[in-house]
Amino acid sequence: MKKIIFNISEIAKYLYATPLVIFGLFHFLNASALVGMVPIPGGVFWIYLTGLSLILAGVSIIIQKLDEWSSFLLAVLLLVFVLTIHLPDVVAGGEMAQMYMTNLLKDLALAGGALIYWNSKKLNI
């Protein structure tokens, strides 16, 4: 039974980290389209920093180096996105409210997954 859980954990690690790397790459490929979402000055810089952060977090989880730190910081980053980018868009309503809610829930779920991963590393599971 322990071997099955280990194998599932290995697969889950890749299932979780791979989209992070892809989302990070999207930040580099579509920076000009994303810059309007940045709620603070600095525009493209924050898009590139976020993309790099997502890529590094995904790679860290895959190679299991500094993954405890990166998963915790990833959760914080994603919760900041939820509160500062997605929630104001959802509250504003309008035609795009459902898409904004989808993004809010996606980032909330990814933050939850990062916290679960972080906690499993702390508990040495």
Is 91 a residue whose pLDDT tops 90? yes
pLDDT tens digits, one per residue of 34-86: 888 888 888 899 999 999 999 999 999 999 999 999 999 999 999 999 999 99
Is 115 a residue whose pLDDT tops 90? yes
In Å, how far from its chain's centre is CA 77? Answer: 7
Residue carrying structure tokens 């290995």: 10
* pLDDT band with cut points at 50, 70 and 90 for residue 7: confident
Per domain, the residue ranges of the chain are 2-122
24: nearest Cα among 56, 1, 63, 61: 56
Count CB neighbours of 83 within 10 A.
Answer: 12
pLDDT confidence of residue 96:
87
